[in-house]
Amino acid sequence: MSTHSDIIIIGGGAAGFFAAINIAEQQPHLSVTILERGKEGLQKVKISGGGRCNVTHAEFIPSELTLNYPRGQKELLGPFHQFMTGDTIAWFEARGVALKIEDDGRMFPVSNSSQTIIDCFLDQAQKHHVEVLYNHAVKSIEPMLQSDIDAPRFKIETNQGALTCNALVVATGSNPKIWKLLEDLGHTIIPPVPSLFTFDIKDKRIKDIPGVVAKHTEIKVVETNLESSGPLLITHVGMSAPAILKLSAFGAVALAKRNYNFKIEVNFISLDVNSCTDALKSYKQEFAKKTVINATQFDLPKRLWKQLVLASKINETERWAEVNKAQIENLALQLTSAVFEVTGKSTFKEEFVTAGGVDLKEVNFKTFESKRIPNLYFAGEVINVDAVTGGFNFQNAWTGAYIVSQSITK
């Protein structure tokens, strides 16, 4: 192990490896070292997408792609014009990893295994002589006074000794210890709060129907401007799926301030209450002899329909012809504006994303270089950028890391 490297990258995750490989590939004469605190790297890559690695998302228009970033939407527009989804696909395919698009737009390796991405990174790192030092936890970062232009610019103290470098890339994701070191260097750190989480809800309407999916919902957080739409999944502890996760991402800061206690209003059928009421009145005529509970409407799952009917004070034996005006109105409200009380949050699968990090005002998004400290660069979630689920957080990592590599090697 050398104690000096032209480029040191702190963090052996997606952004760190991507930056290292592209730097070494573009400028083979530069020595590149990754410092990873764990005994192995790329752990988030390994678990993402249920072990399949959701590499990116099939959105090819930069302005549309940015809409998936609650924090970073404005800042990422320029970078996405330099390197985005199509470039990601081409990069992996050029290195033997074919990607596929699923119906919801998410993109995975054809192999359906995150190990394919990990193997690609490890092979490329070895091929381009990137040094990867595992079990190296960074304890301090010290900019050095330069006696001449070729002198090292940074001294990195680790648990296994000190190293120096000419350029430093921080790609540590949501790492409080590294954020503290960057704060000590003069950077502003936006306090982190969880993003991408599911909602804990105790409500008899959903208690016994885990696994049910309502495909076309609209959800609002009561007394806020937060809203989203899409599929909603009933879970053992509450609600999940894209409609909920999008709310959690865009509402990360606001919901944290409420200590994850708030109310949501769910429209299960994406119709206004008047249109719903009119439809129910027509069903009263059309299905007069059928029991309401067994005549599921609006393409809703049967188990969900049953619970909403019961919550409307319509019993299991009542036929459509027998329901009164008040019951019709109650059912319309249950279908279009059912209120649920959220009492907490749960981590989405094994993926943990936070809002927070280096203040975006202190990053030059043409180069991803610090505006405070020359030759210090950032990639990935170490800065205050995060996204909704679907491969968007990885796309931010690839884009930032690639632009860092271009900035350092030009």
What does the pLDDT profile of the chain (410 residues) look like in tens digits? 679 999 999 999 999 999 999 999 999 999 999 999 999 999 999 999 899 999 999 999 999 999 999 999 999 999 999 999 999 999 999 999 999 999 999 999 999 999 999 999 999 999 999 999 999 999 999 999 766 666 789 999 999 999 999 999 999 999 999 999 999 999 999 999 999 999 999 999 999 999 999 999 999 999 999 999 999 999 999 999 999 999 999 999 999 999 999 999 999 999 999 999 999 999 999 999 999 999 999 999 999 999 999 999 999 999 999 999 999 999 999 999 999 999 999 986 655 688 999 999 999 999 999 999 999 999 999 999 999 989 999 999 999 999 999 999 98
> 9 forms bridges with which residues in the sheet?
34, 169
Rounded CA gap, 346 and 245, in Å? 11
Type of residue found at 147: S
Rounded CA gap, 229 and 231, in Å? 7
CA distances (Å), origin 74, targets 79, 232, 371 = 10, 28, 18
**In Å, how far from its chain's centre is CA 289?**
49
> 142 forms bridges with which residues in the sheet?
155
| Residue whose tokens read 């030059």 | 364
Rounded CA gap, 399 and 389, in Å? 17
Closest CA to 168 of 369, 402, 395: 369
Q: Side-chain half-sphere of 75: how many Cα atoms within 13 Å?
A: 22
118: Cβ contacts below 8 Å, ≥ 6 apart: 42, 45, 46
pLDDT at 145: 77
pLDDT at 219: 98
pLDDT at 1: 66
Element (H or E) spanning 29, and its range? none
| Residue whose tokens read 């648990």 | 159
> 257 forms bridges with which residues in the sheet?
none
111: Cβ contacts below 8 Å, ≥ 6 apart: none
Closest CA to 206 of 245, 233, 244: 233
pLDDT at 347: 81
> 217 forms bridges with which residues in the sheet?
230
Q: What are phi and psi of 98, to 5 degrees?
A: -85, 140
| Backbone CA torsion sign across 54, 58, 62, 65 | negative
Rounded CA gap, 283 and 293, in Å? 12
Let me know the angle formed at the C-alpha of 298 by 297 and 303, rounded to the nearest 5 degrees.
60
Indicate yes or no: pTM above 0.85.
yes
Domains of the chain and CATH, by start = 4-194+354-409 (3.50.50.60), 197-347 (no CATH)
pLDDT at 352: 67
Q: What is the CA radius of gyration of the chain?
A: 25
